[in-house]
Structure 1
Amino acid sequence: MKQNILLGVLLVAIALLIALPWYAPFFYIFIFTEILILGLFAVSFNLIFGYTGMLSFGHAAYFGMGAYTTAMLLLHQDWPFVYTLFAAMALSGLLALVIGFLCVRLSEVYFAMLTLAFGMMVFTIAHSWRDVTNGSDGIAGFRIKEFGLGLDLTIGNPAVYYHVTLVVVGIAALILYIISRSSFGMILKAIRQNPERVSFCGLNIRSYRLASFTIGGIFAGLAGALIAPFLRVASPELMHWSMSAEPVLMSILGGTGYFLGPFVGAAMFVLLETWITSFTESWMLFLGIVLALMVMFFRKGVLGTFLDWWMNKND
């Protein structure tokens, strides 16, 4: 009964998201577009962290790679938008495969520090290689002339771009959910809980970690490909270590043990930031205090704590 109620709430939430442009001002369309994109970014990170137990501090490298790929293809090649998404996923996945191959040999803090090092290397290249990336100014001035697949969509319309983002994020989230519920996903959870036992079963832990790392990079690149047209620019800041901290906060805030936790965390993060910046310039101080309190008192994340309370209510 309780699970049916939760499923009903989820379906209502999806219906409200679909209908958002028809009842909400443009301001909220922009806000929820950002939430969807950052939610996908956080979910892709959570496959590595929440499911496999690897804390990466360089996840923004693949996010930024996706943004740069889309921006450059739109600016220089006039590709249909949908094809730039696939290109962004491919190049981000390739970058994640190379970096992951070198990082998954290590574990815990050594893995985290090595991902941070590689992430900052990618950021430095993007910041310094002015002939290709335009340095700190980033790549701007690109336009989406057509969506592709024979669809005539006015992507420049915020409501249309919101619906495109909603569909792309929905498909990507469904694929990641299927992966997390598959036998592959179960093995990732087992690796997180006890890698030694998994190794004794004859499974190659490094291969599974590398696969998880690469898949996370692919979908982070997809999120980056969506953020570039939204921001109208692809800049090195999208690859900075501080950007890598955002999916960490969102995943922990929402609940790393629940698939939808990072989406909830992304919504709370963006809405809190928007609300706090409306009345103070010292928004980072207040946002930090609020986030610290929520992490301290919601040990399983906001979604995880609520679901535990709901399922145990009146039992």
Structure 2
Amino acid sequence: MKPRAGTLFAAAAPAAFLLAAPFFLSTYWVMILTEILTMSLFAMSFNLLFGYTGLLSFGQAGIFGAGGYFAVLSLIHGPSSLWAAFAAALLGSALLSMIIGWFCVRRDEIYFAILTLGFGMMLFTVAHNWRSLTGGSDGLGGFTLPPLDLLFWRGSLADPRHFYFLVLGVVFLGALLLYRMVHSPFGLLLRSIRENTQRLSFVGADVRAVRLCAFVVAGTLAGLAGVLFAFFNRIASPEMLHWSFSGKAVLMTILGGSGVLFGPAVGAAIFYVLEHVITAHTTNWMVFLGAILVVLVLAFPRGVLGSLLHLAARRRGRPRP
């Protein structure tokens, strides 16, 4: 098989599976796949900062959860419109990311990570204590999802398969945006910042502006993933904003492959499939899951997808960086 044909097959096979999955999988596995897609978008948004720009953010969950709250509040207090809820979440997440990012991009390395952690903790505290708006520790639940209205079709999101296709469409658009971004001159700037910030500053590039743009895009996509997560679970809760939730994005990114566009998606699939399979057989699932993850990280130092791509590139005589 020629390299280009192999690449096309490698891209077409997962796409065909995702499109056909609801027609041959049980409802249980359709819901798991929905969760995997949602968390893939969340982890891919983190990867834009960590894998491509070299910025470790522990505040990604704060914007993720805020996006969910923006959408749910829009449904409860605004028009019963799915698209209005998405619009509120996108605008709110972008604005919140811009405010937080303006402060955080002024520092790098561990200082950036601490700043994002601090903002994430503040957002969690607001969501947990502002009971009149956010429902406090109980969160905001009990809302009804409006129907999915497309040009020639109307579907109920109470149907797991209809909801799955909504999530698949949103994740596809988010992944397409990330693909175009990282394969553009802007993506080259991001990788240059990751490799040598000072050299880029010397040639006149505004490093802070580039970082802020990446932070806003990553935050907006994280907020979009938060909407899908809140809709999937039928609740927006403070736990979505906790810094430990950002740890999931870190884990999935490293497991699948940092700096590889779809690496976090592979990491999310491995993590959630293992979690559901192991929990079905033992109550001590965390011990076994942790052991398997340790083995995978040691066996695939570049992440599962990253290591496989590196191996394939070496066999073609073009080693990946």
AA aligned to 1:85 is F
Assess if the C-alpha contact under 8 Å between 1:47 and 1:216 holds in 2.
yes
Which 10-residue stretch deviates more, 121-130 or 141-150? 141-150
Identify which of 252, 258, 262 aligns with 2:264.
262
- Distance, in Å, in 1 between the alignment partners of 2:81 and 2:61 is 25
Deviation track 1:279-301 (CA, whole Å, cap 9, x = no partner) reads: 22222222222212211221110
Deviation track 1:80-139 (CA, whole Å, cap 9, x = no partner) reads: 112211211111111111111111111111111111111011001100000000001000
Residues 149-160 of structure 1 aligned to structure 2 (within 5 Å): 150=151, 151-160=153-162
TM-superposed deviation, 1:153: 1.7
Alignment correspondent of 1:7: 8
Alignment correspondent of 2:171: 169
Deviation track 1:135-161 (CA, whole Å, cap 9, x = no partner) reads: 010000111223345552211110000
Alignment correspondent of 2:134: 133
- Distance, in Å, in 1 between the alignment partners of 2:309 and 2:28 is 30
- Distance, in Å, in 2 between the alignment partners of 1:314 and 1:59 is 37
AA aligned to 1:22 is F
Assess if the C-alpha contact under 8 Å between 2:71 and 2:85 holds in 1.
yes
What value does the CA root-mean-square deviation take over the aligned residues?
A: 1.3
Assess if the C-alpha contact under 8 Å between 2:74 and 2:84 holds in 1.
no
- Distance, in Å, in 2 between the alignment partners of 1:245 and 1:124 is 18
Identify which of 285, 289, 292 aligns with 2:291.
289
AA aligned to 1:263 is A
Runs of 4+, deviation exceeding 4 Å: 148-151
Assess if the C-alpha contact under 8 Å between 1:70 and 1:225 holds in 2.
yes
TM-score (structure 1 length as normaliser): 0.97
Which 10-residue stretch deviates more, 256-265 or 149-158? 149-158
AA aligned to 2:259 is G
AA aligned to 1:261 is G
Deviation track 1:250-291 (CA, whole Å, cap 9, x = no partner) reads: 111110121111110111111111112112222222222221
Alignment correspondent of 1:231: 233
AA aligned to 2:98 is L
Assess if the C-alpha contact under 8 Å between 2:75 and 2:85 holds in 1.
yes
Alignment correspondent of 2:93: 92
Identity of aligned residues (%): 45
Identify which of 276, 279, 283 aligns with 1:277.
279
AA aligned to 1:57 is F
Gapped regions of structure 2 (runs ≥ 5) = none
- Distance, in Å, in 1 between the alignment partners of 2:285 and 2:102 is 38
Deviation track 1:32-79 (CA, whole Å, cap 9, x = no partner) reads: 000100000011111111111000011001110111111111222243
- Distance, in Å, in 2 between the alignment partners of 1:298 and 1:214 is 31
Which 10-residue stretch deviates more, 6-15 or 120-129? 6-15
Alignment correspondent of 1:49: 50
AA aligned to 1:77 is G
TM-superposed deviation, 1:16: 1.3
- Distance, in Å, in 2 between the alignment partners of 1:169 and 1:314 is 31
- Distance, in Å, in 2 between the alignment partners of 1:86 and 1:182 is 26
Deviation track 1:217-243 (CA, whole Å, cap 9, x = no partner) reads: 000000011111100110000000110
CA separation of 1:3 and 1:252: change in aligned 2, threshold 3 A: farther
TM-superposed deviation, 1:307: 1.6
AA aligned to 2:304 is V
